[in-house]
Chain A
Amino acid sequence: MSANAASRAEVCAAAVADGFRGDGEILVSCFGTVPSIGARLAKLTFEPDLLLTDGVASLVENVLPVSGKAPAAVVESWLPFRSVFDLLWGGRRHVMMFASQIDRFGNQNFACIGPHAKPTAQLLGMRGAPGNTISHPTSYWVPNHTRQVFVEKVDVVSGLGTDRAAALGELRSRFHDLRRVISNLGVFDFATEGRCMRLVSVHPGVTVEQVVKATGFELVIPSHVPETRLPTDAELALIRERIDPEGFANKEVRG
């Protein structure tokens, strides 16, 4: 890798940013380092109207480094948890959550592994996933793409997938909007006839075969799978100088 070449994490961050393209004036909420970088990158480039929080209860107008270090936040509004639920049920938000398990329809689990009555591993709990996924655009970030995460069947459904949304009928699922899954190996969406997960692109240096091997269900694979685009020089400069000078992203995704 030459000095200027993008790392895998930086490729992922640009792919995350692309996922917010066209979102306009909405709140973006992110779980994880790479998604936080991607959202900031989108705001600094093609989506200047995005709203970002400081992770507590303020909406912050300026783009802060993911380390949380200076510069000082320019607070543009207040968003306590009470207002978060109002805002998200009203739909003006795109969330990027993580997934401990996700299936071909994008049903997501980060509540627990094993039977809910007595799990083998208790995780976070439902949190806001059921309400988020039925109310506004949702994407997922998976920093370590394996068959343990991309599973045939999730143990518990916290985030609503396309099959279960369809079963609710058009009226009740009209705000369900599953956008993208971005992993350390590639980019995925659900723009197929059966609303199943499709491989959109593989990151540079990753083969389709690698993705298939690391996925526990049958992906929809188009006859031609392009490579995920590289970040531009301007984007790389923003990431390295302004958003993530410490290189936290490269700790979340290696290579």
Chain B
Amino acid sequence: MDKRCDEADAVAELRDGMTLGIGGWGSRRKPMSLVRELLRSPVRDLTLVSYGGPDVGLLCKAGKLRRLVYGFVSLDSIPLEPHFRAARQAGSIPEVRELDEGMLQWGLYAAAIRLPFLPTRAGLGTSVMEINPELRTVRSPYADGEELVAMPALALDVAFVHMNRADARGNAQYLGPDFYFDDLFLMAAKRRFVSCEKLVETKDLLAEGSLHTLRINRTLVDGVIEAPGGAHFTECPPDYGRDEAFQREYAASAKDDGAWESFRAEWLEVPEAEYQEKVRARRAAK
């Protein structure tokens, strides 16, 4: 089956109030062209699950979120995400579910393998148990009788991830050092979309990486989007590194309303093709 589509097709799957999972980690290999498309759409009241980076900051700033499920939000080279910080400090995210980052993995894995929860020690005794009052514990039925956190499944309606390569049927490949939790995001979701730097023939998938880089098979994917530069301004090695100058500009846009409005007008209210064209022109000018 040919699963090629575009960002608009993927975002059209989202309805108000749905739960969205976004792959990557911090400011690393985030599906930013999909995030930009989402910002241009009317969808709102989303629950977002993310190892948070600028995806979280942008969706907070745009008022798209009803609930945020996260362990941290960071831009890596800029440790604290300014738009996320501003939203938290203004109390403008209606509900936050802040967890240990390993608990997030566990919740996605539970959803992926269709279990109601998975037990863990992470969170016990800390404020995680107090700020997430819905969390329950479970007692081992075996002789040890240990009481553990029952991390509930984080079932997703839709998942977006960005990979280096994919074929038209949805087999996808990472070529960088880490696959993060992208396979789990896809496994945990009902509708799954993979954007990629370059679409290749199936027979060419092993041309650039070993067998072990084919982490995502086509049972996990409903739609494939060819999006060169789609992770910009986050990093997507080996295709490109983080655009640090751009990221600094993005961070500076949290300074005041004027800075945000001009950043938004220049970079977020333009179609993706124009965005990429402007990024190329900037790079050429340097």
Contacts and interface: CB of A to CB of B under 8 A. Distances in A.
A201 interface: no
Given A131-B120, A134-B121, A111 B127 contact: yes
Given A129-B100, A130-B100, A116 B180 contact: no
Contacts of A89: 102, 120-122
B122 A127 contact: no
B102 A57 contact: no
Interface string B56-86: 0000000000000011111000011000110
B268 interface: no
A48 interface: no
Interface in A117-135: 117-131, 133-135
Interface stretch (A141-149, A162-170, A206-214): A162-170
A116 to B, nearest CB: 5
B127 A131 contact: no
B244 interface: no
Contact of A56 (B91, B99, B177): B177
B100 A128 contact: yes
Interface string B168-190: 00000000011111000000000
Interface string B76-116: 00011000110011110000101111110100000000000
A164 B125 contact: yes
Given A130-B126, A135-B121, A160-B126, A57 B177 contact: yes
B123 interface: yes
B124 A127 contact: no
B206 interface: no
A80 B144 contact: no
Given A128-B100, A128-B101, A121 B121 contact: no
B128 interface: yes
Interface residues of A, number: 44
Q: With a 10 A CB-CB cut-off, give which of B72, B103, B122, B126 has the most chain A CB atoms.
A: B126
B89 A119 contact: yes
Given A85-B105, A111-B127, A131-B103, A119 B177 contact: no
Contact of B71 (A116, A128, A173): A128
B80 A122 contact: yes
Contact of A125 (B70, B121, B145, B178): B70
A248 interface: no
Contacts of A172: 121, 124-125, 146-148
Interface stretch (A22-30, A39-47, A151-159, A179-187): A151-159
B101 A168 contact: no
Contacts of B177: 56-58, 78, 80
B147 to A, nearest CB: 7
A128 B126 contact: no
A157 B128 CA distance: 8
A80 B180 contact: yes
B174 to A, nearest CB: 10
B254 to A, nearest CB: 12
A125 B102 CA distance: 13
Contact of A122 (B84, B144, B179): B84
Contacts of B101: 85, 126-128, 131
A217 interface: no
B72 A164 contact: no
B117 interface: no
A68 B131 CA distance: 38
A85 B70 CA distance: 16
A165 B90 CA distance: 33
B25 interface: yes
Contact of A135 (B72, B122, B127): B122
Given A130-B128, A160-B126, A80 B179 contact: yes
17 contacts: A56-B178, A57-B177, A80-B180, A81-B181, A89-B102, A121-B85, A121-B89, A122-B80, A124-B73, A127-B72, A130-B103, A130-B124, A131-B100, A131-B120, A159-B126, A160-B126, A168-B125
Given A122-B88, A165-B125, A171-B144, 18 more contacts: A56-B178, A78-B177, A80-B177, A80-B178, A81-B25, A82-B179, A89-B120, A121-B85, A124-B79, A125-B52, A125-B71, A128-B101, A131-B100, A131-B102, A134-B124, A157-B125, A158-B127, A164-B126
